[in-house]
């Protein structure tokens, strides 16, 4: 039952972006066979999501649905606002195995919603304690080469599977950029040998969270990303069907970050429709994790954003 995750407290939204990081078990065979994602499981996921959205009593249209190895990205827009969506483009960027493997990397969709450009990036960054710099590097690479016609080594990235790769769009040049998924952020602390749980309550552990404390070049903070206050329990590592594993140090691996940098065109569209001093706004309505206990050793998170934007057209 995905309703607790997608429709918390029974509340729906106008736009849904859903990211999965391990739709298939990650291993050598998955890398070989599922470079474009797992078609059967993608269709099963689509069916479950669409059934959940239909239960909200509203009609939705699919914007995108595609994957890369275990990563999957799906987006749906409320039918009455669908005519405002345009210039859709998607891409995927492999960062595993020196850029050859899609076990790590990102899948992305971008589009215009009215006059506002939006980009959503579902990531699976390197795992492990002490890998903060690797995670920064992978995120920077994903944002730098998504939608581009060249790769990090200068080779050509040809259009395929509907990905234009025309070097027209860049992730960091969108009015709203959202990064979601398994950032693999860890707690930076030293524990006595044989111990895995930090002292004190979970809210005290957050003081050691890598992502919250990260500074310097290529950190999420230096790129202008923000995050709502984390008030939910660690999202990793759980015993499926139970509580936190005593064999691993807990962490808030699964996160949603956003960056709002309105362009001159989107600001102008707002002033044409509203007060001349108004600007597009982004506010966090809710940010929480949800105990879908039997699906993974992670707990999924969801962030609801309220985006103030120019007057949108609505279908009858």
Chain-centroid distance of CA 25 in Å reads: 19
Strands 116-124 and 176-182: parallel
Question: How does the average pLDDT of the chain come out, rounded?
Answer: 91
What is residue 117's DSSP assignment?
E
Closest Cα to residue 124, out of 201, 44, 56, 30? 30
pLDDT of residue 313: 75
CB 257 within 8 A of CB 227: yes
Q: Which residue has the tokens 């759980």?
A: 238
pLDDT of residue 278: 56
Give me the percent of the chain exceeding a pLDDT of 70: 91
Q: How far apart are CA 104 and CA 42, in angstroms?
A: 18
Mean pLDDT of 223-234: 96
pLDDT at 156 over 90: yes
Looking at 19-33, 88-102, 222-236, which range is the least confident one?
19-33
Give the containing element (helix H, strand E) for 96: strand 85-96
pLDDT of residue 311: 67
CB 298 within 8 A of CB 253: yes
Read off the pLDDT band of 277 (50, 70, 90). very low
pLDDT of residue 12: 95
61 or 194, higher pLDDT: 61
89 or 37, higher pLDDT: 89
pLDDT at 68 over 80: yes
pLDDT 10s digits, 244-272: 998 999 999 999 999 999 875 565 565 55
Read off the pLDDT band of 280 (50, 70, 90). low
pLDDT of residue 97: 87
Q: 209 Cβ partners below 8 Å, 6+ apart?
A: 185, 187, 188, 230, 251, 252
Report CA torsion sign: 241, 253, 182, 262. positive
Q: How far apart are CA 191 and CA 189, in angstroms?
A: 6
pLDDT of residue 25: 81
DSSP codes, 184-208: ---B-----TT--SPSS-HHHHGGG
Q: How far apart are CA 222 and CA 137, in angstroms?
A: 13
Q: How far apart are CA 197 and CA 177, in angstroms?
A: 34
165 or 192, higher pLDDT: 165
pLDDT 10s digits, 106-153: 999 999 999 999 999 999 999 999 999 999 999 999 999 999 999 998
């Amino acid at each position: 039952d995905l309703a607790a995750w997608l429709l918390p407290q029974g509340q729906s939204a106008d736009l849904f972006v859903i990211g999965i990081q391990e739709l298939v078990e990650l291993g050598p065979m998955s890398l070989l066979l599922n470079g474009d994602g797992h078609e059967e499981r993608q269709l099963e996921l689509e069916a479950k999501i669409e059934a959940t959205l239909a239960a909200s009593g509203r009609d939705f249209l699919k914007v995108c649905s595609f994957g890369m190895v275990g990563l999957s990205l799906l987006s749906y827009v409320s039918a009455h606002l669908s005519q405002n969506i345009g210039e859709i483009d998607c891409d995927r960027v492999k960062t595993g195995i020196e850029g050859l493997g899609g076990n790590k990397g990102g899948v992305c969709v971008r589009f215009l919603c009215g006059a506002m450009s939006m980009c959503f990036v579902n990531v699976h960054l390197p795992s492990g304690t002490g890998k903060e710099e690797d995670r920064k590097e992978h995120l920077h690479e994903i944002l730098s080469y998504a939608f581009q016609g060249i790769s990090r080594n200068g080779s050509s990235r040809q259009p395929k599977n509907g990905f234009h790769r025309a070097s027209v769009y860049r992730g960091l040049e969108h009015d709203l950029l959202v990064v979601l998924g398994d950032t693999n952020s860890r707690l930076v602390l030293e524990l006595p040998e044989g111990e895995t749980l930090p002292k004190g309550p979970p809210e005290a552990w957050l003081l050691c969270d890598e992502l919250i404390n990260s500074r310097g070049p290529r950190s999420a903070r230096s790129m202008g990303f923000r995050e709502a206050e984390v008030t939910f329990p660690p999202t990793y590592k759980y015993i499926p069907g139970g509580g936190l594993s005593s064999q691993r140090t807990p962490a808030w691996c699964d996160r949603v970050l956003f960056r709002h940098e309105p362009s001159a065109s989107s600001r102008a569209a707002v002033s044409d429709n509203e007060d001349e001093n108004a600007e597009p706004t982004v506010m966090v309505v809710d940010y929480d994790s949800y105990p879908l206990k039997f699906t993974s050793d992670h707990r999924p998170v969801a962030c609801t954003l309220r985006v103030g934007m120019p007057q949108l057209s609505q279908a009858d």
